[in-house]
Amino acid sequence: MFTFEIDPVALFEERARQFVAWGIPGRTVAHARGRITDMWGTGQGSWVPVWARLAREAERDGRWLRAAQLWGAARFPALATEERLAAYDRQRDCYARAAARFPVRFERDVLEVPGANGTGPLPVTVHLISRARRRRGVLVLSGGVDTWKVELHRMAVATALATGLMVVVIDMPGTGESPQPLAPDGDAVLAGLVGLLRERFPGEPVAYFGVSFGGHWAVKLAAQGVVDAAVDLGGPTGAAGQEIDIRALPHGMAGIIGNALHLDAMPDAATAAALLSAFSLRDQGLLDATDGAPLLAVNGAHDHYIPSGDTTGLASRPDATVWIVRGATHCAAERIRPVLVGTWGWLLARMGAGTRTEALLRLPVRRHLDTSGTSG
């Protein structure tokens, strides 16, 4: 793990909306934003100490979920310092304390999943979230390189309550409690996890919903027919056939990805290009497949991290639906609520609920879609 150059002012400019989406009040984010002047230090104006003070206040008030969300901000964007590792420990402890008050059934479990090429087993920590009377169907949910299980709590709960599906929240390879680094063959562990879930919930369809880099795995699992349906929200896929200069990505993303890869330092240009190209699903031949599972690919029209073709280029796949959201950036963050509702409808239709539900739930997002870049 390593630290890297990142401007907290610019980071807040881009990520304030994300912190609020986790469940941190906007006024609290603004408070931290006004006091943080340093990203990696330990002084009063440094990232971890400012968030930690806010988290401890929430702990004293017994607001354990709020504390967990604040400790999540403290450990952000990578576990590159001892202070962030400690914050991550506190986050998990506070989340466990908060669980008794969740409006859903919640279980934390560790599943022993076979590793790649017959290695392993590897321990994969999962959060199982469902409503009391759920419908048959399992949805695996993962974030990207800096958004992990606890940060996905609100999305997972909303999805479980709205759809009735069993939502299984995980950390994608290289992040959070994942036991392995980010690597092109990380889908082997995810496929093993899907297999275990099929045994645990026999006869039920299993889908995968990946946010940001998690969308990469959604597309790969769909292309291989591992899951019954998949949603890619803003994932890099290589479908555009366009190289991404990882070192030129804004807001410290090169360092965040480097930490997920478990590197010891920022890679040079040649190493970075080689690392990223190895993930291209086009180069792996997976985008030429004529079968696989239904896929919904969604992104904002103005993503500043991945080429638009990484999403629109998936439209040629059989049984693929592509939504490009006007006026939105990475993962369509500015329109995430209508996008999520529409996604619920799409998933339910592929998992046996029928097309009337899909048509109804798609209404809120339809007016935001760029029809020139939309299919399905």
Side by side, which strands form the sheet with 122-130?
A: 105-113, 122-130, 166-170, 138-142, 206-211, 229-233, 295-300, 320-325
SS3 for 367?
A: coil
Separation of first and last alpha carbons in the chain? 42
HSE-up (13 A, CA, CB side) for residue 165: 30
Which amino acid type is present at position 321? T
Residue matched to tokens 């590793």: 115
Instruction: Give CA–CA dist 272/249, Å, rounded.
Output: 12
Instruction: Give CA–CA dist 308/73, Å, rounded.
Output: 29
Q: Closest Cα partner for 87 from 29, 48, 54?
A: 48
In the chain the domains, ranked by start, together with CATH numbers, are: 8-99 (1.20.1440), 103-373 (3.40.50.1820)
DSSP code string of 286-308 = GGG-S----EEEEEETT-SSS-T
Q: What is the pLDDT of residues 193-211, one digit of tens each?
A: 999 999 999 999 999 999 9
The structure's pTM equals 0.96
The set of residues, in sequence order, having a beta carbon less than 8 Å from that of 322 and lying 6+ positions away, is 296, 297, 298, 311, 312, 314, 315, 373, 374, 375, 376
Q: What is the pLDDT of residues 303-351, one digit of tens each?
A: 999 999 999 999 999 899 999 999 999 999 999 999 999 999 999 999 9
Q: What is the pLDDT of residues 208-258, one digit of tens each?
A: 999 999 999 999 999 999 999 999 999 999 999 887 888 888 889 999 999
Average confidence (pLDDT) over 4-14: 93
Average confidence (pLDDT) over 109-132: 89
Instruction: Give CA–CA dist 12/228, Å, rounded.
Output: 38
